[in-house]
Amino acid sequence: MIWFTEYQTKNTGLTVKVKEAKHIQSKYQEILLLDTYEYGKMLVLDGAVQTTERDEFIYHEMLSHPALIKHRNPERVLVIGGGDGGTVREVLKHPEVKQVHLCEIDEEVIKVSKEHLPTISNQLDNPKVSIFVEDGNKFLDERKSYYDVILLDLSDPVGPAEALFKRAFYEKVKGALREGGIMAAQTESPFLQELYFKTAVKEIQKVFKYYGTYLAFIPTYPAGMWSFTIASDDVDVTKTDGKELEKLKNLNTKYFCDKIYTSLFSLPKFVSDLIK
Ligand code: SAM
């Protein structure tokens, strides 16, 4: 019997019982594809759980839909990271989207996901999608005022994603948005990764005029408590209106819904205290 433990801090970890394990060493990271009893297939990068077949919908819906419904006409979308394809799949649920660029540094993640995680990666070959195997930080050097929505679907701020949680990178994201543009990022666990969380959110707050942080319950992520931050220089992302709720009605989702949307920024006190 095989058990796998993801050490979420030095003192605590998520443990799952595994049927089968596949190991690949890519140019950037160690990739583990685990077939688990409870969560189905699980993608692990450098020891950190990225996604599982059973709970992936929560993360991918919550990263994508708030930004996409708040934008009045999200035609051009960029996803940085996200090589498993789950965010791209959610983005394509919005009929206004004409073009999706995916910028993933590690080609192996895309390959493994296409082969072993078909329910997550199934839109990567959609004709609206172009894939760029590049470092997101460099990719943005050449893209100015182009995208309507940018989604930062990155692994933890260690290893290849480290620079993409810094102020200089968020400035590039802002520069790559065209008028009315909105970005959303995964910003770590406020409970077990307090410092990562605080740092990412505060850097975003320094760069954008409007911002808001929200949470989702994700069973396989540290402490199950996960955060996202949405931001814009043009759109007050903290406000809602009837049009957004109309758009939401037509979305086929399992976690994101009108009740979550209308109370999106209701945070537990200790979480708002961290990012005041
Ligand atoms: N849901 C995940 C989480 O929070 O654990 C993120 C999943 S997604 C698979 C993260 C992806 O970001 C990985 O495939 C990784 O290769 C990619 N990535 C890391 N650094 C990157 C960079 N500098 N540019 C583009 N992609 C990057």
Residue 188 — very low, low, confident or very high, per pLDDT cuts 50/70/90?
very high
Q: Which residues have C-beta atoms less than 6 Å from ligand 1?
A: 45, 50-51, 59, 80-84, 103-106, 109, 135-137, 153-155, 160-161, 164, 186
Would residue 153 show up in a list of annotated catalytic residues for this protein?
yes
For 209-221, the pLDDT digits (tens) are 999 999 999 999 9
Question: 157 CA distance to ligand 1 centroid (A)?
Answer: 10
Radius of gyration of the chain (CA): 17
Question: 80 CA distance to ligand 1 centroid (A)?
Answer: 7
Is the model's pTM score more than 0.75? Answer: yes
> Closest residue (by CA) to atom 9 of ligand 1?
82
Q: Give the integer Cα–Cα distance in Å for 69 and 57.
A: 17
* Residue from 89, 154, 164, 170 whose mutation best tests the ligand 1 pocket (most atoms within 8 A of CB): 154
**pLDDT at residue 159, as a whole number:** 86
80 and 10 together in one domain = no
Average pLDDT over residues 122-147: 97
* Residue from 45, 124, 155, 169 whose mutation best tests the ligand 1 pocket (most atoms within 8 A of CB): 155
Q: Would the pLDDT of 242 be above 90?
A: no
- Domain containing residue 43: 2-52
Average pLDDT over residues 6-31: 95
Percent of the chain with pLDDT over 90: 95
Residue 187 — very low, low, confident or very high, per pLDDT cuts 50/70/90?
very high
Average pLDDT over residues 51-58: 98
Q: Which atom of ligand 1 is nearest to the CA of 43?
A: 9
**pLDDT at residue 9, as a whole number:** 86
30-36 sheet: strands from edge to edge? 2-7, 13-25, 30-36, 40-45, 48-52
Average pLDDT over residues 220-229: 97
Q: Which of 84, 106, 148, 153 is catalytic?
A: 153
Average pLDDT over residues 33-60: 98
205 and 227 together in one domain = yes
158 and 241 together in one domain = yes
Q: Which atom of ligand 1 is nearest to the CA of 84?
A: 9
Q: Would the pLDDT of 256 be above 90?
A: yes
**pLDDT at residue 1, as a whole number:** 81
37 and 169 together in one domain = no
**pLDDT at residue 119, as a whole number:** 98
Question: 139 CA distance to ligand 1 centroid (A)?
Answer: 14
Instruction: Please identify which residue in the block is written with the tokens 């058990």.
Output: 3
* Residue from 89, 104, 131, 189 whose mutation best tests the ligand 1 pocket (most atoms within 8 A of CB): 104
Total domains present in the chain: 2
For 96-110, the pLDDT digits (tens) are 999 999 999 999 999
Q: Which atom of ligand 1 is nearest to the CA of 106?
A: 16
* C-alpha distances out from residue 82 to 113, 130, 132, Å: 10, 13, 12
**pLDDT at residue 69, as a whole number:** 97
Q: How many CB atoms lie within 10 A of CB 175?
A: 14
CATH of the domain at 44: 2.30.140.10
For 124-135, the pLDDT digits (tens) are 999 999 999 999
91 and 141 together in one domain = yes
Query: Angle at the Cα of 209 (from 204 to 210), degrees rounded to 5?
Result: 80
Q: Would the pLDDT of 8 be above 90?
A: no
74 and 38 together in one domain = no
Q: Over the chain, what HEC string results?
A: CEEEEEECCCCCEEEEEEEEEEEEECCCCEEEEEEECCCEEEEEECCEEEEECCCHHHHHHHHHHHHHHHCCCCCEEEEEECCCCHHHHHHCCCCCCCEEEEEECCHHHHHHHHHHCHHHHCCCCCCCEEEEECCHHHHHHHCCCCEEEEEEECCCCCHHHHHHHCHHHHHHHHHHEEEEEEEEEECCCCCCCHHHHHHHHHHHHHHCCEEEEEEEECCCCHHHEEEEEEEECCCCCCCCCHHHHHHHHCCCCCCCCHHHHHCCCCCCHHHHHHCC
Strand partners, 30: 25
106 and 169 together in one domain = yes
94 and 201 together in one domain = yes
132 and 204 together in one domain = yes
Q: Would the pLDDT of 208 be above 90?
A: yes
63 and 39 together in one domain = no
Residue 241 — very low, low, confident or very high, per pLDDT cuts 50/70/90?
confident
Tell me what the pLDDT averaged over the chain comes to.
96
84 and 184 together in one domain = yes
Burial classification of residue 75, based on how many CB atoms lie within 10 Å of its CB (0-12 exposed, 13-18 middle, 19 or more buried): middle
18 and 70 together in one domain = no
CATH of the domain at 195: 3.40.50.150
> Closest residue (by CA) to atom 5 of ligand 1?
50
